[in-house]
Structure 1
Amino acid sequence: MAGIGWLKADSSWKEIAFETIAKDGFCTHPYCGGWLLDWNAQRVEQAVRSYGWDPEEGPWDVHLDELDAVEWTQDDRPIPIFNYILRHVKFKSQHLPPWFHDPHDAKFRVLEAEAATTYQRPLSTHPVAIRSLATFPSVRRLRFHTFTFAHEHRFENILGITVWDVLRGFQSDMDRELSISELLALLSGPFSDIFHDKPSSDFVMDLERFSTLRGLWSATRWEGAHFVGSTGEGPIFMPSFARLPPTSVTSDLAKSTATEAED
């Protein structure tokens, strides 16, 4: 199995195969196409060994007792691995109305050195990437605590949560104005790396820009997620983000208007 899941609009593996070949068959992105399929397959094999997961039977948690969270926290089982693709996703810097969904909002970064300034096609045009399983083993339910335990992002896909499911879930909350308490919680939690060793003057200047999740994400990249716990509604994670180099962030902001106008 190549670690590929279904989107809500999919109806058959045959259609998925045709779309993948037509749109992504000759993809030159270094983290897509054959490279990503191989990476996914290796993670599937690892999850099969670690969890006794059979991908042909569906998501791993389909066999768990929904009221029993113990199996997620056993010492001999590693925490599910998140797809590497999430490290290479960049959202537009331009704020959007909270009610507006732009299918081309998420971009696929190219090279580490050009992470904030260079874009490939929108991520939505990479069928292999968006259909890749978000976690290994795959799960039907997943939760992220980003601010406090009172505010969370929930994801669900009965066939296994994909990268696209996760990004769409975060996107729906990207442009909501953050309260002071939420912003402080984010800056001391998932986005604590933003102001590491930065002068206090920079902190004040950046506060307005960081009034939304989109603003925070524009200065960082997804680094991973820490396992917090589990309930009958799936594993709970706290995401973490690493600050992009200052020069990259500055260039990104300067070029964002022109780049996004072309989209």
Structure 2
Amino acid sequence: MPELPEVETTRRKIAPLVTGRTIVDIRHLSPKKYPDTGLAHGRTVLEPQRRGKYLILPLAQGPDAAPDRELIVHLGMTGGFRLEEGPHTRLTLQLDSGELHFNDPRRFGRVRVVQAGDYAALPTLAAMGPEPLEDSFELEAFAQAAAKAGAVKPWLLSQRPVAGVGNIYADEALWRARIHPAQRHLSAEQAARLHAAVREVMREAVELGGSSLGNGVSNYRQHDGDWGGFQLQHAAYGRGGQPCPRCGTTIEKTVLGQRGTHFCPQCQVLE
């Protein structure tokens, strides 16, 4: 958390604030967490992009120039942008039009500037799989990899089979596909169900602005105060001890790959 839907919503929300603006300064007190940010000074921000859970701001030496740097943001567990500085502000992006503050209560977020396209320092980004809502997320390749995979939920969370799926949306997609999170070596039919479920869950979550959990102070919300709405659609994630919306069986919670995992033992039988 935040995962693809939350990062995509962030991208859409901040695009009007930063596109075409010049970075005057980036202020912070953590050079190890936010390395090489000085390389962004004086550059123009082009249209923000997203890759999986990463927000990418292309930087150029002018609005009509090709990007030669990229400002990469990983929101971690609690990162997000705010218009006003607060007690959890970790980094401030000073633009020629004003300031945008990176808020991160639990300090897991990361911001760095790299040469455009050079992700050697970001191995997860460099090796990331296809985007779930793009044509590159092909069923045949997904099914071939799934047939050889270990436990399916940790496999999804690795970002290699598909980009941007985290704990929330893995639980939700597996519930919709009726696949146990610890299932290994998916059949072609199981892979097809999961492929469709990942697309469906991600599409719906993006449309609803992602999932906002907790009190909104240390959890995801946007710079304008908006919360996501997909948490109201959760069928499995965070519903341990509650009835399955499909069959009424109590949703169980376990730990798989060191991650809290929710599933229905009736709908998602381990084969």
Q: TM-score range by the shorter chain?
A: under 0.3
Length-normalised TM-score, structure 2? 0.27
- Which protein is richer in helix relative to its size? 1
